[in-house]
Structure 1
Amino acid sequence: MATLNLIGAGHVGRVLGRLLAAQAGFQVQQVLTRSAASARAAVDFIGSGAAVERYDQLQPAAVHLLAVGDDQIQSACAALAQAVPLRGSVVFHCSGALASDQLQAARDAGALVASAHPIRSFADPAAVAAQFAGTFFGIEGDAAALAVLTPALQAIGAQPVPIAASAKTVYHAAAVFASNYLVTVLDAALRAYQAAGIPEPVARQMAQPLATESMANVFRLGAAAALTGPIARGDMATVDRQQRAVSQWDAASGELYRALVAPTVELARRKPRK
């Protein structure tokens, strides 16, 4: 069994530790977190391993997972490289925003490095661990590291997708567009309905079929084919009128509307013509 050390054991680290031990044939060896209590709680969740309190208590392992915050990756990697022989081992992190080049200290120490970012929420670790199959991972890094991690991820039911390390930040922004900014746009729609005198609960009921059908069409047909509305029809007079009205109602929402016009016009140009 390949040995695995876990540095950082929040929700993501705990889930991956449990699944890699249970389904991918890894032996969780040691768990190091900010406190002894959290390390012991992680070991209890994972079901194996030993809690340690300091880097110098870590033993060599085949794989080291840095499941720490983005701002801690470099310092944790440097501390690991100073404490443990890394030559020939795999060191990887789970950040969606940062690439594997953050692990240069481990690479300089002879390790193979990579990043593997799970694309899902980990708010409820037990539920995630129980329903992990199908989870996508954006992966990049040294080919030899990915040769170890890819089959391990597949063994726990994940779907690894190679990404370009140079575009890691743009890759992470994709999730912000698909999730966070989508919520912001929907909030603008709900507030605009309310400005027309519609109660907020009714506004949500009115917006839901439009939003859900549009998203379903994007994932079924592609974004360009799913586009409808005045820009898709070439009715820029209506767009201009709406822009002025929205800006008069709420300046910030008017700026949001204005910012979306040009990319939507470009999307309309890609729309298939019947």
Structure 2
Amino acid sequence: MSIIGGGKLGRTLGRLWHTQNSFTLFDILNRSASSAQQASAFIGAGTATASYADLRPADVYLLSVSDDQIAACCAALAAAGKLQSGTIVFHCSGALSSLALQAAIEHGAAVASIHPIRSFADPQQVAEHFAGTWCGSEGDDDALAVLGPAFSAIGGHLVPIQREQKTLYHAAAVFASNYLVTLIDVAQQVYAAAGIPPELALKLIEPLLSESAANAFRLGPATALTGPIARGDVTTVARQQRALQQHQPHLAELYRQFAELTTSLAARKQNNKP
């Protein structure tokens, strides 16, 4: 295997596979020689390489580059004559499908996308706790036949997804991860408008969010729902809407939209009652 893009994700997976002897790592090609060398040092294997032409022929290529560079890197790999029938090329983007590897497909390679559903902000921490990570996967059977066991060997659990639904799949992850962080920021803003210092607001938010999330995962979202809408307290909801309109008008519409969605969720909660 060779890795194009030895950033946080590439070096984490490279280290895990090297430790488990899943792949023999040949080369690492990154934006700079120093960053490729750093990746090699973290992984404990692999040779820092300066160009696509210098890459040794490999059976598997991981393109762990940013989404907007995947197609271009794949095309460069193909132009360098590194791809042929039987070669496997894959990426780990959550937003793009394996069709982003069109240049590899045209050269007879098998392609796939496998998206580990977690943050790679701290490669050391992720490498130590990767086991149990769910990974959305799609692609050619020949590619998945090799990559599936490789991810299983490091504790990954592959979830088959439809190639044509990859964008919706990733939108769900954005709701669960990115927008949750935004929602915390929104709650912090509203607490601040009520006179509570931002750092203290986070302390108030943490138990509410943690307990609500734990209940939702344990009981299901509908059963776990609490609060004024779940109680049918429309007066409180209307009063909060008016207060936001007065003090935080840029958040009032967001509150209204969440109230509509939560009303639908509360109805499901009522329907689930025996």
- Please state which band the TM-score falls in when normalised by the shorter chain: over 0.9
Residue of structure 2 in register with 1:243 after alignment: 241
What residue is the counterpart of 2:19 in the other structure?
22
Give the superposition deviation at 1:230: 2.0
TM-score by length of structure 2 reads: 0.93
Normalised to the residue count of structure 1, the TM-score between the two structures is 0.93
**1:132 matches 2:123:** no
Aligned: 1:31 with 2:39: no
Give the whole-Å Cα distance in 1 for the aligned partners of 2:226 and 2:22.
49
Q: Is the counterpart of residue 79 in structure 1 residue 76 in structure 2?
A: yes
Q: Which structure 2 residues correspond to residues 1-274 of structure 1 after superposition, within 5 A?
A: 4-83=1-80, 84-271=82-269, 272-274=272-274
Which whole-Å CA distance do the structure 2 matches of 1:47 and 1:8 have between them? 16
Give the CA deviation at 1:113: 0.4
**What is the one-letter code of the residue matched to 1:12?**
L
Mapped contact 2:188–2:202 kept (Cα < 8 A): yes
Deviations 1:237-271 (A, max 9, x none): 32222211111111111121012122112212221
Aligned residues: 271
C-alpha contact (below 8 Å) 1:24/1:156 kept by paired residues? no
The one-letter amino acid paired with 2:173 is A
Percent identity (aligned) = 57
**Residue deviations 1:100-153 (CA, integer Å, cap 9, x gap):** 110011011001100111122222222221222112211111122111111100
What is the alpha-carbon distance in structure 1 between the residues aligned to residue 161 and residue 232 of structure 2?
36
User: How far has the Cα of 1:201 moved from its partner?
Assistant: 4.0
The CA deviation at 1:24 is: 4.3
For structure 2, the 5+ residue unaligned runs are none
Q: Aligned equivalents of 1:97 and 1:123: distance in 2?
A: 18
